[in-house]
């Protein structure tokens, strides 16, 4: 099935859930989710850590300074990261904790714990999550972003994600956000389109309840 056909099928199924979903999907229009499969898991993890708990503009600045350390490279190799001094990396804007995390990711890539793209494709979702959350500073959400944007998995619901939970709260006019456990239960009804559902929930306008 083509990506366009899958998205169309997902929109139809999600819109049939209730009038709130139907109206929201009608207002947003077709799903325009765009994964980045050209990035391998190592690069995706480093990028995710750079943006972790920051606004996009701040993350862009840190990542830009990191890339500037390695002219001629599209993205620094694990060996280049480990050869850089802590002072160089801290000057990019990384906290001490994030510095330790990206060095750990680089080391884990060299040792094979962080798989390359082809090996990652062969692992199922939970196996890859279990493998990568063993790394310091890498949580489930970070691996879920890798699954969604790098490995193009279409049935991932990041139940801890603030935007997903707040989007659902506003969509349904609830007083409180669903808990992680509640989101997981809700998401069972959205399978196998949970990635598309998350994409739409991230786009519920802040002007809604």
DSSP letter string, 123-138: S-HHHHHHHHTTSTT-
Determine the pLDDT at residue 119: 94
* Structural domains in the chain plus CATH codes: 3-34+156-202 (1.10.1670.40), 41-150 (1.10.340.30)
Low-confidence ranges of the chain (pLDDT < 50): none
Q: Is 0.85 surpassed by the pTM of this model?
A: yes
Query: CB under 8 Å to 180, separation ≥6 — which residues?
Result: 159, 160, 165
Q: What is the DSSP letter of 204?
A: S
Determine the pLDDT at residue 207: 67
Report the C-alpha gap between 8 and 5 in whole angstroms. Answer: 5
Determine the pLDDT at residue 209: 53
Determine the pLDDT at residue 1: 81
Determine the pLDDT at residue 52: 83
Determine the pLDDT at residue 208: 59
The set of catalytic residues is: 161
């Amino acid at each position: 099935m083509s990506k366009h056909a899958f998205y169309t099928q997902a929109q139809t199924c999600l819109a049939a859930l209730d009038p709130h979903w139907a109206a929201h999907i009608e207002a947003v229009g077709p799903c325009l989710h765009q994964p980045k499969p050209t990035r391998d898991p190592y690069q995706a993890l480093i990028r995710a850590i750079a943006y972790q708990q920051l606004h996009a503009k701040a993350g862009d600045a840190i990542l830009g300074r990191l890339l500037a350390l390695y002219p001629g490279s599209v993205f620094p190799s694990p060996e280049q990261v480990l050869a850089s001094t802590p002072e160089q990396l801290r000057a990019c804007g990384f906290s001490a904790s994030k510095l330790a995390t990206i060095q750990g990711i680089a080391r884990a890539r060299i040792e094979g714990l962080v798989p390359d793209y082809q090996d990652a494709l062969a692992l199922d979702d939970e196996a890859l999550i279990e493998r990568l959350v063993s790394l310091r500073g890498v949580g489930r959400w970070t691996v879920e972003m890798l699954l969604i944007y790098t490995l193009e998995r279409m049935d991932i619901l990041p139940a801890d994600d603030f935007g997903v939970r707040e989007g659902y709260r506003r969509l349904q006019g609830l007083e409180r956000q669903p808990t992680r456990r509640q989101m997981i239960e809700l998401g069972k009804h959205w399978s196998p389109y949970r990635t598309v559902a998350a994409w739409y929930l991230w786009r519920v306008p802040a002007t809604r309840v």
